[in-house]
Chain A
Amino acid sequence: MQTPCIEVKNLYKHYGDIKAVDGIDLSVQSGTVFGVLGPNGAGKTTTLETLLGLKQRDGGMVRILGFDPEKDQAALRHKVSAQLQAPAVFGRLTVKELLRLFASFYHDPLPSEEVLQMVGLQEKQKAPCDSLSGGQKHRLAVALAVAANGDVVFLDEPTTGLDPQSRRQLWDVIATLRHRGRTVVLTTHYMDEAEQLCDQLVIIDAGRIIARGRPRNLLDEHFPHDVLEFDNPGFGDATLARVGELPAVADWSRETGGRVVLHSRQASATIEALQRFASEEGRRISDITMRRASLEDLFLKLTGRMIRQ
């Protein structure tokens, strides 16, 4: 196995009694997209900022490209870039001027035109940065990090507050970075995004890692069953109990609004048996939906809470 691009052991960051980061281990391979998921206040931003050396860690080891960001910050300046907050310097420069200005500080920046295109800000290139909307500023911050063209890019909630189209566009940006062999570390609240984008992820809650792995593997491991849902066509309690004994059904429950949920080891067998059972009972089930468990379900299972509350 190649040496990881980012290595973190037992990272701590406390603010008085608040354990913002409470013993985190990470290992990020270069050329991959690594996700840090968790609810508000979980410690995502604090983790990123301590990894970057912007906040001093209270304990643990951090290596980025072999360097300790607190001691060798100079060595990492040209290799690591980050989008942490909306750009708030030189607000009266135009988007393009600001992008050019930042790019000019790096050894081998991406051309401004290309970056503007990537984040979808070409039409705004002549607008003063101050005049951008929240989402546009957000994209500009990502653009500045991308323009640096370093080996590692940190993105703190790159898609929060974006409209669906811009979100997709940023997914493409991240995919492009990955395609070019860059390492991306991103935080997000969006589980679909993490599933879609990340090679590896950790879910953190209250400063601790509660799950880690490939998104698909994590879900298969925690949710080996398919989830089937349908409206109760009028089955009584006794009949429903018999539904729970149909082939391949592992578990079943009744939800509010008359929905019935089945956890099936093999969806096709269960659906077929269910349809047959229904017609024997003189009923029709026309609305069976099947959904795969999502990271959202995983978070709920692990913590007993929804991720966004």
Chain B
Amino acid sequence: MKSFIVLFTATAKEFIRDRSGLFWTFALPIAFIFMFGLIFSGDNQDIPFEYILPGILAMALMQLGLFGAMQFLALRERNVLRGLSITPVSRAALLGSEVLVRLLTAFVQAAVILSIGIAVFGVEFANPLHEIAILVLVGAAAFVSLGYMLICFVSTIDGGSGLAQVVQLPMMFMSGIFFPVELMPEFVQPVVRFIPLKFLADALREVMSGMGADFPLAVNVGLLTLFLGCTLLVTLKFWRWE
């Protein structure tokens, strides 16, 4: 336990001191908020801000999860994890502290994004904050799990970031984060309904803005949890330290 706390502290320091990591986790979502906030303000109300904000939060959580795993991949591929196996440092504790740092960061991310929504754009939330918090946790866990699942199937650092891009880009554009999927061509509609990021974005949208979606809230949360469970199982099955 003591060594876990020590490792966790080190991991947290490492994360906070990572400028480019902080840029992707905080600066990018904030930039998106202001961009969309300004485009769809005043007369142009095609897509209301209440629609956009939960989508941006969902996107931020996805990136947080996916890219955390890539750093672990780098440790694995540079044989750092292998080297640690002869020291008393537990690799599992290192992984655990990585995951915990990500999950805690998810709350910080959510707090920042929601605060800007409230302070700058005067957003009001349809439901109490703790309901949003629970969704943030489940969503972050699902995408952290997805990240670690992906790195089971690559054996180079470049391969990992390539795969992460291949997974995240389509999800970003096809999950209705920035515009409703009804605006997309007919033939992609059936696929689009089952994109994991859409479950999270739709659920967040319903809880934050009271906007209904394809599935009821309970179904979205259920599907998201199922996704978390499946990725976790696959990860456990195919996990390797070296």
A residues touching B (Cβ–Cβ < 8 Å)? 52-54, 69, 73, 76-78, 80-82, 84-85, 88-93, 97, 101-102, 104-106, 128, 148
Are B86 and A76 in contact, CB atoms less than 8 angstroms apart?
yes
Q: What is the count of residue pairs linking A and B with beta-carbon distances less than 8 angstroms?
A: 57
Give B82 Cβ to nearest chain A Cβ, in Å.
Answer: 6
Q: Is B89 an interface residue (CB 8 A)?
A: yes
Contacts of A104 in B (CB 8 A): 3, 6
Complex Cα–Cα for A89 and B83 (A): 10
Complex Cα–Cα for A52 and B79 (A): 14
Main secondary structure of the interface of B (DSSP, over half): helix
Contacts of A88 in B (CB 8 A): 75, 78, 80
Are A54 and B83 in contact, CB atoms less than 8 angstroms apart?
yes
Are A92 and B14 in contact, CB atoms less than 8 angstroms apart?
yes
Contacts of B85 in A (CB 8 A): 54, 73
Complex Cα–Cα for A104 and B83 (A): 17
Q: Closest residue to B79 on the A side, CB-wise?
A: A85
The 3 closest A-B pairs by CB, nearest first: A92-B17, A105-B88, A77-B88
Complex Cα–Cα for A76 and B87 (A): 9
Are B88 and A73 in contact, CB atoms less than 8 angstroms apart?
no
| 26 pairs from A and B in contact (CB 8 Å cutoff) | A54-B86, A73-B85, A73-B86, A77-B86, A77-B88, A78-B88, A80-B86, A81-B86, A81-B87, A85-B83, A88-B75, A89-B75, A89-B80, A89-B84, A90-B10, A91-B14, A92-B17, A93-B13, A93-B14, A97-B13, A101-B6, A101-B7, A102-B87, A102-B89, A105-B6, A105-B87
Complex Cα–Cα for A279 and B45 (A): 109
Quick one: CB contact mask for B64-97 with A, threshold 8 Å, 1 for yes? 0000000000010011101111111100001000
Contacts of A76 in B (CB 8 A): 86
Contacts of B94 in A (CB 8 A): 89
Contacts of B214 in A (CB 8 A): none
Give B199 Cβ to nearest chain A Cβ, in Å.
Answer: 34
Complex Cα–Cα for A128 and B14 (A): 10
A-facing residues in B144-203 (Cβ within 8 Å) = none
Known A-B contacts A92-B18, A104-B6; A53 and B86 likewise in contact (beta carbons under 8 Å): yes
Contacts of B13 in A (CB 8 A): 92-93, 97
Q: Closest residue to B89 on the A side, CB-wise?
A: A105
Complex Cα–Cα for A93 and B14 (A): 6
Contacts of A105 in B (CB 8 A): 3, 6, 87-89
Contacts of B89 in A (CB 8 A): 102, 105
Complex Cα–Cα for A298 and B108 (A): 64
Contacts of B87 in A (CB 8 A): 77, 81, 102, 105, 148
Complex Cα–Cα for A78 and B88 (A): 6
Q: Closest residue to A128 on the B side, CB-wise?
A: B17
Q: Closest residue to A144 on the B side, CB-wise?
A: B87
Give A102 Cβ to nearest chain B Cβ, in Å.
Answer: 7
Q: Closest residue to B84 on the A side, CB-wise?
A: A89
Complex Cα–Cα for A90 and B6 (A): 12
Contacts of A69 in B (CB 8 A): 86
Give B14 Cβ to nearest chain A Cβ, in Å.
Answer: 5
Contacts of B75 in A (CB 8 A): 88-89
Are B86 and A52 in contact, CB atoms less than 8 angstroms apart?
yes
| Residue of A53, A82, A91, A106 touching B88 (CB-CB under 8 A) | A106
Q: A93-B13, A101-B6 are in contact. List 5 more A-B contacts (CB 8 A).
A: A54-B86, A76-B86, A89-B94, A92-B13, A93-B10
Give B13 Cβ to nearest chain A Cβ, in Å.
Answer: 6
Give B15 Cβ to nearest chain A Cβ, in Å.
Answer: 9
Q: Closest residue to B74 on the A side, CB-wise?
A: A88
Contacts of B7 in A (CB 8 A): 101
Q: Closest residue to B82 on the A side, CB-wise?
A: A54
Contacts of A77 in B (CB 8 A): 86-88
Complex Cα–Cα for A241 and B9 (A): 76
Contacts of B80 in A (CB 8 A): 88-89
